[in-house]
Amino acid sequence: MVRYIANKFFYMLVSLFILISATFFLMKAIPGDPFTSEKKVPPAIQERLYEQYGLDKPVYQQYIKYLGDVVQGDFGISMKKINQDVSDIIGQTFSASLKLGLVAIVVAVIVGVLLGMVAALYHRKLIDNIAMVVAVLGIAVPSFVIASLLQYVFASKLHWLPTMGFKGPIYYVLPVAALTAQPIAFIARLTRSSMLEVLNADYIKTAKAKGLGWMAILFRHVIRNGIMPVVTYLGPMTANIVTGSVVIEQIFGIGGIGKQFVEAISTRDYPIIMGITIFYGILLMLARFITDIAYVFVDPRIKLSGKKEG
Amino acid sequence: MKKNKSLLLLLTLVLAVGTLLSACGSNNDKNSASNGGNNTSNSGTNSGEEKLAADQTLKINLSAEPPTFDPAQAQDSQANTVLKTMYEGLARMNDNGEPEPAAAEKWDVDGTKYTFHLRKDAKWSNGDPVTAKDFAFAWERVLSPNTDPAPPYAYQLYYIKNAQEYNEGKITDFNQVGVKVVDDYTLEVELVSPTPYFLGLTSFYTYYPVHQSVKDDAKWAVDASKMIVNGPFTLTNWTKGQTIEVTKNENYWGKDNIKLSKISMSLVNSGATELASYKNGELDRTGHPNGEVPTDQIPIVKQELKDEFKVKGIASTYYYQFNLTAKPFDNEKIRKAFAMTIDRQAIVDKVTLGGQLPAFGFVPPGIKGVNDEFRNEVKDDFFTENTEEAKKLLEEGMKEEGYTQLPEITLTYNSSEAHKKIALAVADMWKKNLGVDVKTENQEWGVFIENRQNLNYQVARAGWTADYNDPMTFLDMWTSNSGNNDIGLKDAEYDKLINEAKTTEDNAKRNENFKKAEEILVKDTMGIMPIYYYTNIALEKPYLKGVSLDFSGGIDYTRAYLLEH
């Protein structure tokens, strides 16, 4: 186990290094810089800005300096948001995305698993069909369509909920609904199919034959085994939702990290682009990592080892 | 067996509903608690006047978050909106676009020498008096070559004697710069040359005073708790990416004229969401200059919300510019042919839909001339739309260049739905009227600007907004060595006219020079092809009063108030 983790950790560092390098050079290759503007600044001032932010040096020197700073945990200050630390900006905007994301994940898992379970238990009955139609819709309809629709109905027409902003619990309802439609559908389908499989498995028949009660069978055997694929999906989904859906944040006016990222790219705010990229990278890798570990606890058949087959 | 199943279903349902209910329950608790808090504070500030609404909280949206509230570093219209509520310069612009006393109660002007007499009751939000030293401190901070990062708008202060030299490090003693603190309440300013619009400039944010405590604190302007300001409002909350809130400053000398208790600003960058939010009653105003009503929604809201729909011309010009150094637009006749053959009225009526004015000159209406608006004194009749004439010109131009067929032409614009619609309409008119196929290409903003500045285009979209109320702000950008001249115009006569206008004290002569310069730019060279003069389109709730828009579309909320509704 320890060896496995150490190994995984090493590969994470390598990936991170590649990610940083590739992003850095690609970013520098885009035309324009943070100080390109329609109304030109006098050359003397422009040069001083380049000097102050180290943009007057060759790209490889900037790269080496940046790597050095990052190793020491210094993500620098923004070039556009004057005198603001990159880590502060990430922290503040990520907190919105995180809050929204966590609520969405919890809702998605609870509703998705329940929906899938009900569908499996009532296989080929009306409830199953309804649940699966809902699931197909959830997967097929893009989230921004759902978001706009929800906004139109519940905010613009019925005036039940606010259109935009992120000032209190009530502001969560619509974005969470839009954000979870797809994961709910996905989880429901995963749960349903794996539960159906499990329900027909030999050990369930054995359990039934033993005379075990329905509840016991369901909670001890069916759910635990049936939920396996959901655990797999949980990792990428968490990363996906928590990193902030740019489109959903845009539609509901939530100043999350996704919006910040897009804005940084269009203003060529180099330190923020790098900072958020690294942050995203770490988050995604951690999500995968935790998923792997979680397997061990959920599925006793899996043993971790440092070898490739692991 | 069957019984068991329905039991299970019941159980799952109970579970599901239970979690939902518990979530709702806690939500409601929090809501009512915070509402209660608001209500009590509101009744406390109720002014008791008949018509005014009890809650004087103005709710608006900014489509972009201001990067900083340091007046020295600001350079965008959103920052301008917020800074205007928090700071006050020597003068402020009134509703008629005239400078009126603000931090200075009066001033004497003697040629290039201005003496400002500061009001003695002006205070910072922490109670300190606002003195002439604060202005000198702020201006030195803007101009000092050691300020980090370098204030990009330092050149707005170059009108002051030796300011440019000091900023460029050619002189190192700030005492040589034309800013002199005579005593705490008297500030003398010496200019390089007569500048009729200088008083207006002192209301601009780069000229705002700054409290001297910020000297060694780089982060003072990004932290609401550290801001010390001298304007009608103070920054009370800034949640990055979410909201900005300013609250009435009780230490402001003119607080009796301020009726709003709070301005709450959301930071949403989506015209559609902003409009939906406005319709839902969450915003009191939407549209320019802090946001944008989506073009396709304009005809709808014009009908639906007739009384709330506000259109006002502003001093900005939308135009296409030709690259005078690239084929085929290095030929004057070809440029003229292209400019004369588009139907501006049709573009305004059918594409932009915002009541814009077709443009035949470069200086927009709203800019001051000698006694009246410049555009009323100098008509923009530099050319007319005439397809027959254009065809002839195109033929002649092609003959001059020896073309049997025009080279491939690409029209470049920065990615935006609105620009795209205009580009397609214009290309279509060129095709129909001149029989020329023009490719349209959109480019991301940074790429677009870089290409344009490097003269790496043939014909490109552009727009220009006034920095100050004078034709100079539109015309000095086309001199041969101006950094903003991105059409490749090099005209000695033009340069001479602008230089003369910069030094003369004779306003009639200035106007005459501007007229001749604009003639060279539009009539003779047709380096730029004007399309329309911008309008400011906004939706404003009928109960919102006192919002003031200046000539260039800058907005002032400080004197606004809300009526009972």
Task: Show the domain range for A160.
Answer: 99-268
Q: Which of residues 141-200 of B touch A (CB under 8 A)?
A: 145, 148-155, 167-168
Q: Which residues of A touch B151 (CB under 8 A)?
A: 45
Selected for mutation to probe chain A from B73, B165, B280 (highest A CB count within 10 Å) is: B280
A295's CB contacts (< 8 A; 6+ apart) are A231, A232, A302
pLDDT tier at B97, thresholds 50, 70, 90: confident
Q: Which residues of A touch B280 (CB under 8 A)?
A: 155-156, 159, 162-163
Confirm whether A41 is domain-assigned: no
B4: distance to nearest CA of chain A, Å? 8
* B87 vs B140: CA distance, rounded Å: 18
Confirm whether A162 is domain-assigned: yes
What is residue B215's predicted lDDT score, i.e. its pLDDT? 86
Residue A156 forms contact with B (CB below 8 Å): yes
Confirm whether A59 is domain-assigned: no
Question: In the predicted model, what is the mean pLDDT of residues A173-186?
Answer: 91
Beta strands in B111-253 (DSSP E): 113-118, 179-183, 186-190, 233-239, 243-248
Q: Could you report the per-residue pLDDT of B320-338, keeping only the tens digit for each?
A: 999 999 989 999 999 999 9
Residue A50 forms contact with B (CB below 8 Å): no
B221: distance to nearest CA of chain A, Å? 8
High-pLDDT (> 90) share of chain B, % = 80
CB–CB contact A118 B241 (8 Å): no
Question: In the predicted model, what is the mean pLDDT of residues B92-108?
Answer: 91
More confident call, A117 vs B245: B245
Pick A168's closest partner by Cβ from B30, B167, B221.
B30
Residue B274 forms contact with A (CB below 8 Å): yes
Residue B453 forms contact with A (CB below 8 Å): yes
What is residue B44's predicted lDDT score, i.e. its pLDDT? 39
CATH of B70-234 among 3.90.76.10, 2.60.40.1580, 3.40.50.1780, 3.30.450.20 = 3.90.76.10
Pick B270's closest partner by Cβ from A53, A93, A250.
A250
Q: Could you report the per-residue pLDDT of B110-156, keeping only the tens digit for each?
A: 989 999 999 999 999 999 999 999 999 999 999 999 998 999 999 99
A58's CB contacts (< 8 A; 6+ apart) are none
Looking at the domain that runs over B311-535, which CATH code has it been given? 3.10.105.10
Pick B240's closest partner by Cβ from A35, A253, A255.
A255
Between A and B, how many CB-CB pairs are < 8 A? 182
Instruction: Give the start-to-end residue ranges of the domains of chain B.
Output: 70-234, 311-535
A273's CB contacts (< 8 A; 6+ apart) are A23, A27, A261, A264, A265
Identify the three-state secondary structure at position A218.
Answer: helix
What is residue A156's predicted lDDT score, i.e. its pLDDT? 86
Residue of A nearest to B20 (CA): A107
* B325 vs A127: CA distance, rounded Å: 71
Confirm whether A286 is domain-assigned: no
Residue A21 forms contact with B (CB below 8 Å): no
* B253 vs B229: CA distance, rounded Å: 12
Residue of A nearest to B463 (CA): A38
What is residue B35's predicted lDDT score, i.e. its pLDDT? 37
Question: In the predicted model, what is the mean pLDDT of residues A48-56?
Answer: 93
Angle between helices A270-298 and A257-267 (to 10 degrees): 150
- Cβ proximity of B474 and B317 under 8 Å: yes
Residue B269 forms contact with A (CB below 8 Å): yes
Q: Which of residues 60-79 of A touch B (CB under 8 A)?
A: 78
**What ipTM, to 2 d.p.?**
0.83
Q: Which residues of B touch A80 (CB under 8 A)?
A: 67
Residue B15 forms contact with A (CB below 8 Å): yes
Q: Could you report the per-residue pLDDT of B449-495, keeping only the tens digit for each?
A: 999 999 999 999 999 999 899 999 999 999 998 989 999 999 999 99
Average pLDDT across chain B, whole number? 89
Residue B38 forms contact with A (CB below 8 Å): no
Identify the three-state secondary structure at position B295.
Answer: helix
CB–CB contact B222 A84 (8 Å): yes
| Count: domains in chain A | 1
Phi-psi region of B143 (alpha: psi -120 to 50; beta: other; left: phi over 0): alpha
Four-CA torsion A224, A230, A236, A239, nearest 10 degrees: -70
pLDDT tier at A209, thresholds 50, 70, 90: confident
Confirm whether A210 is domain-assigned: yes
Residue B8 forms contact with A (CB below 8 Å): yes
CB–CB contact A45 B152 (8 Å): yes
What is residue A204's predicted lDDT score, i.e. its pLDDT? 82
* B214 vs B226: CA distance, rounded Å: 9
A247: distance to nearest CA of chain B, Å? 10
Residue of B nearest to A38 (CA): B449
Q: Could you report the per-residue pLDDT of A76-109, keeping only the tens digit for each?
A: 999 999 889 999 999 988 988 888 999 999 999 9
pTM: 0.85
Residue A80 forms contact with B (CB below 8 Å): yes
Place of tokens 């682009």: A273
A195's CB contacts (< 8 A; 6+ apart) are A116, A117, A120, A121, A222, A223, A226
CATH of the domain at A183: 1.10.3720.10
Q: Is pLDDT at B79 greater than 90 in this prediction?
A: yes
Q: Is pLDDT at A289 greater than 90 in this prediction?
A: no
pLDDT tier at A304, thresholds 50, 70, 90: low
Selected for mutation to probe chain A from B32, B156, B157, B222 (highest A CB count within 10 Å) is: B222
Residue A155 forms contact with B (CB below 8 Å): yes
CB atoms under 10 Å from CB of B18, counted, come to 10
